[in-house]
Each structure stands twice: as C-alpha cells, then as structure tokens.
Amino acid sequence: MKRINVIIYGRVQGILFRYNTKRLAEKLNLSGWVRNNSDGTVEAVFEGKDESVDKITKWCYKGPIGAKVEKIEKKEEKFMNEFNNFTIIY
C-alpha cells in the first residue's frame, strides 16, 4: 500500500481536473482528496494499492482534456489508511 502527495502545475484549474481526478481515483479504489490551491496549482493525496497509485500519478502528468501540465511535484509519504473515500475539497 502506498501514499503519494502531488502538486500539479500548469493550466489545471477551471477544466474539471478535480472532478476527473475523483472519478479515476474512485475507479481505482483509491482514497484521499484533491483541491485547488490559491496559487493556481492542484494538489492531491492518493492512498491505496501501489499499482493504482502509480496509475493515477502517471495520469496526473497529462490530466483531462484541456489541461496543460507543466510539472508535478510528488512526495511519497507514510501510508496511513486515514481516508474512507476520495473527496474534492472546496
């Protein structure tokens, strides 16, 4: 089991990035959250099976249609199993 925190830079707000991240996370049975940050980035925490976390992290480099991802900062953290589902933080 794995936990990753990602911060996604580029044109990633106002294009349903959070919504699409939530849909994919649920499909992959991941828990965690995603939010827009005030600096224009999108941040997320993913917890779940290693291969599922790797899959969604790879997807974040492209994002949904309309996204223009410039870079991603990712940090592996200690798996904590602290979330019951995947949520969008508003």
pLDDT (0 to 100) of residue 89: 97
Global pTM reads 0.96
Q: What percent of the chain has pLDDT over 70?
A: 100
The whole-angstrom separation of Cα 76 and Cα 26 is: 20
pLDDT (0 to 100) of residue 48: 98
The whole-angstrom separation of Cα 87 and Cα 72 is: 20
Q: Is 18 a catalytic residue?
A: yes
Domains of the chain and any CATH numbers: 2-89 (3.30.70.100)
Q: Which of 11, 20, 35, 36 is catalytic?
A: 36
pLDDT (0 to 100) of residue 71: 97
Task: Tell me the three state secondary structure of residue 50.
Answer: helix
Q: Which of 11, 18, 29, 37 is catalytic?
A: 18
Average pLDDT value over all residues in the chain: 98
Structure tokens at 47: 């917890």
